[in-house]
Structure 1
Amino acid sequence: DSVDKFIDAIADNEALISKESIRRYGGFYGPTCVVDFALMPGSTTNVVNQILKDMDIPLMHKQAILSAKSWGMNTSYGVGDAFANAIEDGLTAAEATQKEIETLQMVYREPIEAQGTLMDDADHSSFDVRKYMNGYKKEMTATVKAAMDDGVHYGNIVTVPAYCVGDIGHHIGQASYNMVKDDVTLNIIKATTDVIEATLRSNLDNYKTPANVLNLATGSSACATEYILELDGFNAPMVVDLLNKRFHNYVQQYPRRGAAAELHNCDFMDMIYRGFGAISDARKARSSEKIDLVPKINGFAVDLSPIAENEVIMNPQRYTYPACAITVRFSSLMRLADYPCLLTSEPITATMMTNIIALNKESAGSPARGCKNCASATLVDGKHEYCQWREAI
Structure 2
Amino acid sequence: IRPEDDPFIEHYQTPPILEILCEEDGDFADSMATFIQAIADSETLITKESVRRYGGFYGPTCVVDFALMPGSTSNVVNQILKTIHIPVMHKQAILSAKSWGMNTSYGIGDSFAHAIENGASAAEAAAKEVESMQMIYKEPVEAQGKLMDDAGHSSFDVRAFMEGYKKEMRSVVKAAMDDGVHYGNIVTVPAYCVGDIGHHIGQASYNMCKDDVTLAIIQATAKVMEASLKDNLGKFMHPSQVLNLATGSTACATEYILELDGFNSTMVVDLLTKRFHNYVQQYPTRGAAAELHNCDFMDMIHRGSTYISAARKARSSAKIDLVPKVNGFAVDLGAITHNEVLMNPQRYTYPACGITVRFSSLMRLADYPCLLTPEPVTATMMTNIIALNKEVPGSPVRGCKNCASCIIDAKHEYCQWKESV
Report the TM-score range of the alignment, normalised by the length of the smaller protein.
Answer: over 0.9
Q: How do residues 287-306 of structure 1 correspond to structure 2 at under 5 angstroms?
A: 287-306=316-335
Tell me, yes or no, if structure 1 residue 320 matches structure 2 residue 349. yes
Displacement of 1:309 in angstroms is 1.1
Displacement of 1:169 in angstroms is 4.8
SS in structure 2 at match of 1:148: helix
Figure out how many residues of one structure are paired with residues of the other and give that number.
Answer: 392
Q: What does the per-residue CA deviation read over 1:104-125, in whole Å, with 9 as the maximum and x for residues that have no partner?
A: 0000111111111111111111
What is the letter of the counterpart of residue 220 of structure 2?
A
Q: How do residues 83-232 of structure 1 correspond to structure 2 at under 5 angstroms?
A: 83-232=112-261
**1 CA distance for matches of 2:167 and 2:101?**
18
Q: What does the per-residue CA deviation read over 1:70-108, in whole Å, with 9 as the maximum and x for residues that have no partner?
A: 011000110000000000000000100000000000001
SS in structure 2 at match of 1:108: helix
**2 CA distance for matches of 1:159 and 1:126?**
25
When residues 38 and 16 of structure 1 are mapped into structure 2, their CA distance, relative to the original with a 3 A threshold, is: same
In the other structure, the counterpart of 1:270 is 299
**1 CA distance for matches of 2:290 and 2:279?**
10
1:361 to 372, 385, 390: 390
Unaligned residue ranges in structure 2 (runs of 5+): 1-29
In the other structure, the counterpart of 2:40 is 11
Tell me, yes or no, if structure 1 residue 373 matches structure 2 residue 393. no
SS in structure 2 at match of 1:38: coil
What is the letter of the counterpart of residue 169 of structure 2?
M
Q: How do residues 345-360 of structure 1 correspond to structure 2 at under 5 angstroms?
A: 345-360=374-389
Displacement of 1:161 in angstroms is 0.2
| 144-153 vs 115-124, which moves further | 115-124
In the other structure, the counterpart of 1:284 is 313
In the other structure, the counterpart of 1:383 is 411
Do 2:214 and 2:362's aligned partners in 1 also have CA atoms closer than 8 Å?
A: yes
**1 CA distance for matches of 2:344 and 2:96?**
45
SS in structure 2 at match of 1:168: coil
| 11-20 vs 169-178, which moves further | 169-178
**2 CA distance for matches of 1:218 and 1:84?**
34
| 241-250 vs 126-135, which moves further | 126-135
- Compute the TM-score of the two structures, normalised by the length of structure 2: 0.92
Displacement of 1:188 in angstroms is 0.0
What is the letter of the counterpart of residue 390 of structure 1?
K
In the other structure, the counterpart of 2:367 is 338
SS in structure 2 at match of 1:258: coil
- Compute the TM-score of the two structures, normalised by the length of structure 1: 0.99
Tell me, yes or no, if structure 1 residue 233 matches structure 2 residue 267. no
**2 CA distance for matches of 1:41 and 1:168?**
31
Displacement of 1:126 in angstroms is 1.8
Displacement of 1:164 in angstroms is 2.8
**1 CA distance for matches of 2:95 and 2:145?**
22
**2 CA distance for matches of 1:367 and 1:280?**
29
**1 CA distance for matches of 2:341 and 2:198?**
28
Write out the 4+ residue segments of structure 1 that deviate beyond 6 Å after TM superposition. none
**2 CA distance for matches of 1:223 and 1:341?**
15
Q: What does the per-residue CA deviation read over 1:2-35, in whole Å, with 9 as the maximum and x for residues that have no partner?
A: 0010000000001000000000000000001011
Q: What does the per-residue CA deviation read over 1:123-163, in whole Å, with 9 as the maximum and x for residues that have no partner?
A: 11121110101110111000000000000000000000001
Q: What does the per-residue CA deviation read over 1:212-269, in whole Å, with 9 as the maximum and x for residues that have no partner?
A: 0000000000000000000000000000000000000000000000000000000000
What is the letter of the counterpart of residue 130 of structure 2?
I
In the other structure, the counterpart of 1:244 is 273
**2 CA distance for matches of 1:313 and 1:270?**
23
**2 CA distance for matches of 1:67 and 1:92?**
32
What is the letter of the counterpart of residue 174 of structure 2?
K
In the other structure, the counterpart of 2:73 is 44
**2 CA distance for matches of 1:126 and 1:267?**
27
**2 CA distance for matches of 1:244 and 1:169?**
30
**2 CA distance for matches of 1:76 and 1:267?**
17
**2 CA distance for matches of 1:172 and 1:6?**
37
Tell me, yes or no, if structure 1 residue 20 matches structure 2 residue 53. no
Do 2:193 and 2:380's aligned partners in 1 also have CA atoms closer than 8 Å?
A: no
2:358 to 323, 326, 329: 329
